[in-house]
């Protein structure tokens, strides 16, 4: 898969016109996330009805539609033949409509008091025993915890106006468990101090270093991003 084609960086280019995928600080985490999602989807029957909730421009939707999957998307700011423009919190999907829902790097964009409503709404529209796959930035990753011990401040995963719902991953687990059974957790990008920051500063040169840090991903709570697979009870 050409991972570069799955992310246009359109909103980032508005902030920094010189933005490129190769120098994107989130690049290694994004590629690791997409590899894992691709691995999951390869095991899914193509007859399954899939929703990408908060899909942006729908590039992932287009890719897997091309491969023959029954996939569509919904996003608040974009629409196309495959993507419905709408509010996930107030959608008109029927109960138990989808076999699988993707919610990738979306929940942190909602306010803290809206996040459980998002999980509840996605649970409503997924079928019994269906699954919802979240990828979630973790405010309490290892580097953030160490910084807190030193200066009393956590290291946010993004600016507050971009990730207003930033919170520690265990708080997300608590919300998700109210509505779904957590089947699996996969940590991405263990934030070993200095080394992880080096991979962010120079992503075009540091895949080898990112690869060396992968064994530490076994501690998912140390990671910058966590994939959580929830199953409808």
**Whole-structure pTM over 0.85, yes or no?**
yes
CATH number at residue 122: 3.40.50.150
Number of domains into which the chain is organized? 1
Helix (H, G, I), strand (E, B) or coil at 118: helix
pLDDT of residue 136: 98
Give the integer Cα–Cα distance in Å for 176 and 58.
25
pLDDT of residue 69: 97
Using alpha carbons, list the distances in angstroms from residue 11 to 7, 135, 165. Answer: 10, 19, 19
Residue 170 burial (CB < 10 Å; 0-12/13-18/19+)? exposed
Give residue 209's domain range.
Answer: 3-232
Query: Are the CB atoms for 187 and 217 separated by under 8 Å?
Result: yes
**Strand runs (DSSP E) across the chain, as ranges?**
49-53, 70-75, 83-85, 98-104, 126-137, 180-190, 223-232
Q: Which residues lie below 8 Å from residue 23, measured CB to CB, with a gap of 6+?
A: 203, 204
pLDDT of residue 16: 83
Q: Which residues lie below 8 Å from residue 79, measured CB to CB, with a gap of 6+?
A: 85
* Residue 141: closest CA among 221, 215, 216, 226: 221
Other CB atoms within 10 A of residue 181 CB: 13
Helix (H, G, I), strand (E, B) or coil at 181: strand
pLDDT of residue 76: 94
Other CB atoms within 10 A of residue 219 CB: 11
Per-position pLDDT tens, the chain of length 233: 788 888 888 778 877 888 899 999 999 999 999 999 999 999 999 999 999 999 998 999 999 999 999 999 999 999 999 999 999 999 999 999 999 999 999 999 999 999 999 999 999 999 999 999 999 999 999 999 999 999 999 999 999 999 999 999 999 999 999 999 999 999 999 999 999 999 999 999 999 999 999 999 999 999 999 999 999 98
């Amino acid at each position: 898969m050409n991972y570069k084609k799955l992310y246009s960086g359109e909103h980032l280019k508005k902030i920094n016109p010189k933005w490129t995928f190769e120098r994107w600080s989130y690049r290694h985490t994004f590629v690791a996330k997409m590899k894992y999602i691709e691995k999951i989807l390869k095991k899914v029957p193509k007859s399954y009805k899939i929703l990408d909730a908060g899909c942006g421009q729908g590039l992932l939707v287009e890719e897997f539609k091309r491969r023959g999957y029954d996939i569509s998307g919904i996003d608040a700011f974009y629409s196309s033949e495959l993507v419905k423009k709408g509010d996930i919190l107030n959608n008109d999907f029927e109960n138990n409509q989808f076999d699988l829902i993707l919610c990738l790097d979306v929940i942190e964009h909602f306010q803290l008091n809206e996040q459980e409503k998002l999980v509840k709404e996605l649970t409503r529209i997924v079928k019994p025993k269906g699954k919802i796959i979240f990828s979630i930035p973790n405010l309490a990753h290892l580097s953030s915890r160490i910084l807190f011990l030193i200066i009393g401040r956590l290291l946010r995963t993004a600016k507050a106006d971009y990730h207003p719902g930033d919170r520690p991953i265990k708080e997300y687990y608590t919300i998700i468990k109210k509505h779904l059974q957590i089947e699996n957790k996969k940590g991405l990008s263990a934030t070993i101090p200095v080394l992880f920051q080096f991979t962010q500063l120079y992503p075009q040169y540091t895949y080898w270093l990112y690869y060396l840090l992968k064994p530490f991903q076994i501690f998912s709570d140390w990671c910058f991003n966590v994939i959580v697979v929830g199953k409808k009870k």
